[in-house]
Amino acid sequence: MSFGTLYLIPTSISEGEVAGIPEQVRTRLKRLDYFLVENVRTARRYISSLKLGLTIEELDFQELSKKTSNAQVERLMMPVMEGKSAGILSESGCPGVADPGARAVEFAHKRGIKVVPLVGPSSILLALMASGLNGQKFAFHGYLPIKTPELQQVIKSLERSSVKEGYAHIFIETPYRNNQLLENLSKIAHPETMLCVAKDLTGPAQFIKTLPLKIWKKEEVDLHKIPCIFILQAALVS
């Protein structure tokens, strides 16, 4: 028996903003009825918003989260091993990138299952594109530490890496802590270090700005409870 195919299906990164979802994604969704998703409610709402003529109740959504055990991942992938194709949906943007869907992808590669990524919005790449910072050397770090001593160590380490090798360092924060992170960056990092803040990408409140941290200290910007991408790159200071 041949395996099914595992499709990586991008979702909107600003809720309800689906105009930019490619036709390829819409067409593939119409042909699938089995999905591994980070959040069932979000996935159902997203597919409904595309108005594809699908009956949501007839689709099979299975949750794949960071808490899912390895044994559960194998169980979730059994239909694919038996010949059924499946789609992976993240809660926002591209699955498999800072997303538990990567675990199903890892399983697929180990078992020789075909993996097909589809084109769609990525907040990480959109922010980098619009930042004016180094698109040749960059690294994504996910969430930085919350506690101040650890955060100080990490930020200083990122700055040193940026000075030495020119890296742009990309990270995120839980939306309700965005303002606090911006304040801490302004206190800890060098005043000339560049910071890009990209807020609500593709959404109605989209905001993208790259400034030295000494200028960010003077800016009045509210990032509270709005998804943001932060990109830090050290300036060459004599």
Could you identify the residue written with the tokens 């303002």? 179
Are residues 147 and 154 in contact, defined by beta-carbon separation less than 8 angstroms? Answer: no
Q: Which helix (H) or strand (E) holds 61?
A: strand 60-63
Could you identify the residue written with the tokens 């960059």? 138
pTM of the entire predicted model: 0.92
Instruction: For the domain made up of 123-233, give the CATH fold.
Output: 3.30.950
Print burial letters for 86-123: b (CB count within 10 Å at least 16), e (below 16).
bbbbbbbbbbbbbbbbbbbbebbeeeebeeebbebbbb
In terms of Cβ atoms closer than 10 Å to its own Cβ (0-12, 13-18, 19+), residue 67 is: exposed
Q: What is the dihedral of CA 19, 21, 23, 24, to 10 degrees?
A: 180
Token couple for 207: 């905001």
| CA 172 remoteness from chain centre | 9
Name the residue ranges covered by the structural domains of the chain.
5-117, 123-233
Per-residue pLDDT of the chain (238 residues; tens, 9 = 90+): 799 999 999 999 998 889 889 999 999 999 999 999 999 999 999 999 999 999 999 999 999 999 999 999 999 999 999 999 999 999 999 999 989 999 999 999 999 999 999 999 999 999 999 999 999 999 999 999 999 999 999 999 999 999 999 999 999 999 999 999 999 999 999 999 999 999 999 999 999 999 999 999 999 999 999 999 999 999 865 4
CATH 3.30.420.40 fits 5-117, yes or no: no
Are residues 56 and 37 in contact, defined by beta-carbon separation less than 8 angstroms? Answer: no
